[in-house]
């Protein structure tokens, strides 16, 4: 694995204890320019993870705690009248940081959830007809409570499709829970070591996007996405944005592995974390207990892996 990426992951892992490769997949999203959605139970370390990523990467960090009464202006900012200047002045909202943890996003009303659409897609916001650029690089880690939790508003399909990667942290095993107790026994203020800077993360993102991809990989990605649109158990298949996000994640994976070209294994690694959360299943499929992850696994298994790259 790339030496700088390894140091980033190790720095975060000193603060955030995990069973699954959560840190690795979050760094994959960060360097690929993709946002992350985490669905999990309260108290498993989502904020700790986001803060550790910001500290290790050297990026500015902000946290937004969503509640049903939070308004779009609280998130985006608003124009306020300043009598001394005899004019309206824009006051930045909570969104104006390089790394944002949007905690319990699905507790916000649909009106407030929609405040993220332009920000996540174009890294800018529009308030009172005026466009404001967001800090670069801009990276969102959003968390949502499970659907059966009280006081939640399901994220709409357009919102889900803007998240490049979806994952779960899950409860730690006994050994890792003991590690957590040892780590935070004396203080909750443990910080990750700074490994990179803003300029370095921007440079890495540019390098990731420049990694060459063969036409065979393009067709491989397109065939995977296309097959989701013709299944009876899928009500809404994968969008062209899904193809792009799978491509970007595959380039990021190649970079992390120290390669300057994408191979099918990069696509195979990325598909289970990039695609499932975008699928909308048919009522019969949901009633039968079929999961989006199972469908993506079946689709990927049915597509011939390209050779001779």
The predicted structure's pLDDT at residue 150: 67
Residue 48 lies in a domain: yes
Residue 202 lies in a domain: no
Residue 197 lies in a domain: no
**Residues whose CB falls within 8 Å of the CB of residue 34, separated by 6 or more in sequence, listed in order:** 28, 163, 164, 165, 245, 248, 249, 252, 274
178, 224: one domain = no
What whole-number distance in Å separates Cα of residue 77 and Cα of residue 109? 17
Residue 203 lies in a domain: no
Q: The domain that contains 136 carries what CATH number?
A: 3.40.50.300
What whole-number distance in Å separates Cα of residue 309 and Cα of residue 252? 18
The predicted structure's pLDDT at residue 297: 96
292, 172: one domain = no
The predicted structure's pLDDT at residue 292: 94
Q: Write down the pTM of the prediction.
A: 0.93
Which residues span the domain enclosing 247? 211-302
The predicted structure's pLDDT at residue 262: 97
174, 44: one domain = yes
Residue 292 lies in a domain: yes
Our count of domains for the chain comes to 2
Residue 200 lies in a domain: no
283, 134: one domain = no
63, 153: one domain = yes
What whole-number distance in Å separates Cα of residue 267 and Cα of residue 98? 27
Residue 84 lies in a domain: yes
220, 133: one domain = no
Q: Which helix (H) or strand (E) holds 192?
A: none
141, 11: one domain = yes
Residue 18 lies in a domain: yes
Residue ranges in the chain whose pLDDT is less than 70 = 148, 150
3-state secondary structure of 282: coil
């Amino acid at each position: 694995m790339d030496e700088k990426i390894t140091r980033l992951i190790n720095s975060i892992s000193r603060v955030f204890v995990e069973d699954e490769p959560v840190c690795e997949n979050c760094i994959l999203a960060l360097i690929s320019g993709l946002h992350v959605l985490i669905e999990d139970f309260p108290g498993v370390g989502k904020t700790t993870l986001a803060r550790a990523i910001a500290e290790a990467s050297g990026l500015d960090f902000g946290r937004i705690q969503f509640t049903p009464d939070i308004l779009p202006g609280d998130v985006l900012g608003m124009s306020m009248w300043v009598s001394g200047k005899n004019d309206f002045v824009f006051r930045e909202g909570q969104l104006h940081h390089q790394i944002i943890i949007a905690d319990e996003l699905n507790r916000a009303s649909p009106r407030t959830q929609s405040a993220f659409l332009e920000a996540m897609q174009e890294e800018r916001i529009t308030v009172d007809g005026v466009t404001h650029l967001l800090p670069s690089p801009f990276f969102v880690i959003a968390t949502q409570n499970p659907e059966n939790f009280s006081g939640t508003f399901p994220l709409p399909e357009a919102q889900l499709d803007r998240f490049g990667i979806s994952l779960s942290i899950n409860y730690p095993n006994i050994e890792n829970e003991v590690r957590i107790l040892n780590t935070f026994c004396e203080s909750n203020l443990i910080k990750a070591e700074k490994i990179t800077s803003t300029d370095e993360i921007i440079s890495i993102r540019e390098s990731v996007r420049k990694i060459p991809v063969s036409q065979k990989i393009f067709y491989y990605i397109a065939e995977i996405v296309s097959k989701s649109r013709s299944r009876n158990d899928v009500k809404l298949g994968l969008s062209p944005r899904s193809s792009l996000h799978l491509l970007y994640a595959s380039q990021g994976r190649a970079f992390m592995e120290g390669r300057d070209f994408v191979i099918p294994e990069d696509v195979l690694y990325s598909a289970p974390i990039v695609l499932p959360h975008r699928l909308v299943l048919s009522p019969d499929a949901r009633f039968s207990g079929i999961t989006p992850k199972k469908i993506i696994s079946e689709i990927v298994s049915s597509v011939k892996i390209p050779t001779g790259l």
